[in-house]
């Protein structure tokens, strides 16, 4: 693996490169040689710049966040200055007229309403601090699901796929995947299907198939390490929910699934948690937040929160993650959840708050 990250020193800091010049000056190169060396160094620098600071957020409708919460979120992004922003639940429909094939990589704009909504969204993404990013979309046919990936323009990936099979033109159903290949790693942004409550509604089957495909994907991805982020719709351990008994015994309209492993709040069933354990262990993957934060943080340790009014008030789950290959373990600097409190400070109108990852940059 070509190393684009510098491992953390033992004391937790990383050294700055020595910028001082040599005491014995070198002979001046000829103009042509100097230009050649300059061009070469600029090209090498451009090739070597890769993202080291990442942000993931389930926006729960990007258009609504732009209309209602954009100044606050823009200020947050400007302060954090991430190299990559992964967004889930964009909830913008794919381009294509009614009854015609859709283009999941483009936003619908063939009606007055859709055209206005697209203009609102693109204006927001053309304003500071977002104007310095290029954006990729993977969208559903309707205002459901969908993902977006924003990458700083001077840190562009080699390739971008929209499926787990790494096929050129295919998009996953509901726009659930964006996979970006960089020179030294893959970055996977996913909006994982919710497990649902009832076996007969096929949601259990859909989630089982997804987990099987993700396991196959991580096992086959051997050429470069992986950074996997997004709304993974699972709370791995009891420490990852605020009220384990509440979520373990949750029911929808009194319904109890036939298999005990499928009982409870979607995202906290025993079956989902066991499959997630298998994905992490067999894929040699690290849950970065839990790797760094061994103890439960009841104030800021959860990325999803129930509605502040009703029975879910104060009930929280950690279902948004950064997962990395074990090869990147020594490059981890920080992983933070940026929302807290019953009143959902730092959630910016969504029911999810942003989560960030910092790796030590290449020097």
| Binding residue ranges for Mg(2+) | 58, 89, 231, 233, 351-352
Q: Which residues are annotated as a binding site?
A: 58, 89, 231, 233, 351-352
Burial of 94 (0-12, 13-18, 19+ CB in 10 A): buried
SS3 of residue 323 by DSSP: strand
> What residues does 352 pair with on adjacent strands?
304
Task: Pick the closest to residue 61 from 352, 314, 345 (CA basis).
Answer: 352
SS3 of residue 18 by DSSP: coil
In angstroms and rounded to an integer, the radius of gyration of the C-alpha atoms of the chain is 22
C-alpha to C-alpha distances, 53 to 27, 125, 147, 303, 312, nearest whole angstrom: 39, 19, 19, 18, 33
SS3 of residue 140 by DSSP: coil
The catalytic site residues sit at 191, 231, 352
What are the structure tokens assigned to 14, written together? Answer: 């990383």
C-alpha to C-alpha distances, 240 to 62, 77, 148, 235, 237, nearest whole angstrom: 26, 25, 26, 5, 5
Between CA 275 and CA 9 the distance in angstroms is: 34
């Amino acid at each position: 693996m070509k190393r684009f990250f510098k491992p953390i020193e033992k004391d937790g800091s990383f050294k700055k490169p020595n910028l001082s010049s040599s005491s014995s000056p070198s002979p001046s190169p000829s103009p042509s040689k100097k230009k050649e060396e300059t061009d070469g160094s600029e090209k090498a620098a451009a090739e070597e710049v890769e993202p080291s600071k990442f942000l993931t957020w389930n926006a729960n409708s990007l258009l609504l966040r732009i209309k209602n919460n954009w100044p606050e979120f823009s200020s947050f992004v400007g302060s954090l200055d991430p190299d990559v922003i992964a967004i889930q639940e964009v909830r913008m429909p794919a381009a294509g007229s009614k009854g015609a094939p859709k283009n999941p990589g483009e936003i619908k704009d063939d009606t007055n309403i859709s055209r206005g909504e697209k203009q609102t969204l693109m204006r927001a993404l053309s304003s500071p601090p977002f104007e310095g990013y290029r954006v990729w979309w993977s969208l559903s046919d309707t205002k459901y699901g969908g993902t977006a990936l924003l990458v700083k323009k001077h840190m562009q990936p080699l390739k971008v796929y929209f499926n787990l099979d790494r096929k050129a033109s295919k998009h996953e159903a509901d726009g659930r995947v964006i996979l970006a290949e960089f020179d030294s790693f893959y970055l996977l942004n996913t909006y994982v299907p919710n497990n649902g409550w009832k076996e007969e509604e096929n949601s259990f089957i859909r989630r089982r198939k997804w987990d099987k495909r993700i396991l196959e994907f991580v096992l086959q991805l051997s050429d470069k390490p992986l950074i996997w982020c997004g709304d993974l719709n699972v709370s791995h351990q009891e420490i990852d929910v605020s009220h384990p008994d509440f979520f373990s015994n949750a029911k929808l309209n009194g319904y109890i699934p036939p298999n005990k492993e499928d009982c409870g709040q979607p995202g906290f069933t025993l079956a989902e948690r066991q499959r997630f354990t298998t994905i992490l262990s067999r894929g040699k993957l690290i849950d970065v937040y839990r790797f760094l934060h061994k103890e439960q943080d009841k104030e800021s340790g959860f990325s999803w929160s129930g509605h502040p009014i009703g029975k879910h008030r104060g009930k929280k789950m950690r279902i948004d993650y950064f997962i990395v290959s074990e090869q990147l373990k020594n490059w981890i600097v920080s992983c933070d959840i940026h929302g807290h409190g019953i009143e959902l400070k730092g959630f910016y109108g969504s029911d999810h708050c942003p989560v960030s990852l910092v790796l030590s940059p290449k020097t």
